[in-house]
């Protein structure tokens, strides 16, 4: 019966927004790779995009650029590091901080804003452990997209995150250190069988600062 089928689907861990190579990967990453659809209200989405648009519009889209912060290759993007926000946006960022970060975590400042054009995409990478600590949290605006995570040692282990406008994703611990992440280009933008057409997408990314793990010790699992 269609009804009971849907019910069974709903009881799988995170099945609406997170797909995985197998149930074991899904349950292992349940708290490490999290999607919160509808984290932003429509009004909050508008507040952020209205504030970001004029700053982004001043810049040109770039191609095949290696970003020092996240050691990544991004194609078709422009970006800004923003430290001054309106009061309304500060309240939103504060909500992100309480939802994604622990009380002991300090956030990297300024906040990273990335604007991908419709054909823009982010190739697989792990954010640099020099600049970024255990937690990455991103808000998505304008277009839906698919983020794919692939285990750096075991490529058969993967997750797909469906990032709708207004959603928040959180990558922490294993998901941040042991899996690469990428934003799929339009031609490859599928969540399972479901085609997710890509338009222009803006993300607002908060990162924790690397934590000192003891004198001279490297961060864990890098
Ligand atoms: C990055 C990155 C993801 C996003 O800039 O390192 O992975 O949501 N961005 O834009
Ligand atoms: Mn990244």
Judged against a pLDDT cut of 60, whether residue 4 lies above it is answered with no
Q: Is the pLDDT of residue 173 over 90?
A: yes
pLDDT in tens, 46-89: 999 999 999 999 999 988 666 555 445 899 999 999 999 999 99
Ligand 1 pocket residue status of 138, Cβ below 6 Å: yes
* 41 Cα–ligand 2 center, Å: 25
More confident residue, 183 or 73: 183
What atom of ligand 1 comes closest to residue 145's alpha carbon? 8
In the chain, what is the straight-line distance between the N-terminal and C-terminal CA atoms, in Å?
47
Give the separation between CA 36 and CA 195, rounded to whole angstroms. Answer: 20
Q: Is the CB of 115 under 6 A from ligand 1?
A: no
Three-class secondary structure assignment of 39-77: CCCHHHHHHHHHHHHHHHHCCCCECCEEECCCCEEEEEE
Work out the mean pLDDT of the chain and round it to a whole number: 90
In angstroms, what is the span from residue 180 Cα to ligand 2's centroid? 8
Nearest CA to ligand 1 atom 10: 203
Q: pLDDT for 114-143, tens place per residue?
A: 999 999 999 999 999 999 999 999 999 999
Backbone angles phi, psi at 60, to 5 degrees: -100, 150
Q: How confident is the model at residue 215 (pLDDT cuts 50, 70, 90)?
A: low
């Amino acid at each position: 019966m269609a009804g009971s089928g849907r019910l069974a689907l709903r009881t799988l861990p995170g099945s609406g927004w997170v797909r995985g190579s197998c149930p074991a990967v899904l349950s292992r990453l349940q708290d490490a790779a999290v999607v919160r659809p509808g984290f932003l209200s429509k009004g909050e989405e508008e507040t952020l995009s209205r504030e970001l648009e004029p700053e982004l519009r001043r810049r040109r889209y770039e191609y095949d650029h290696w970003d020092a912060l996240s050691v990544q290759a991004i194609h078709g993007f422009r970006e800004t590091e923003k430290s001054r926000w309106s009061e309304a946006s500060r309240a939103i960022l504060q909500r992100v901080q309480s939802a994604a970060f622990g009380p002991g975590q300090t956030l990297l400042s300024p906040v990273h804003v990335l604007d991908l054009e419709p054909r823009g995409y982010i190739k697989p990478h792990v954010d640099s452990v020099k600049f970024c600590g255990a937690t990455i949290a991103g808000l998505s605006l304008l277009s839906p997209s698919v983020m794919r995570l692939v285990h750096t040692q075991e490529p058969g282990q993967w997750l797909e995150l469906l990032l709708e406008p207004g959603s928040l994703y959180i990558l922490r611990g294993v998901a941040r250190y042991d899996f690469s992440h990428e934003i799929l280009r339009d031609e490859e933008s599928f969540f399972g069988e479901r085609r997710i057409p890509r338009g222009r997408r803006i993300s607002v990314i908060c990162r924790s600062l690397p934590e000192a793990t003891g004198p001279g010790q490297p961060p864990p699992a890098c």
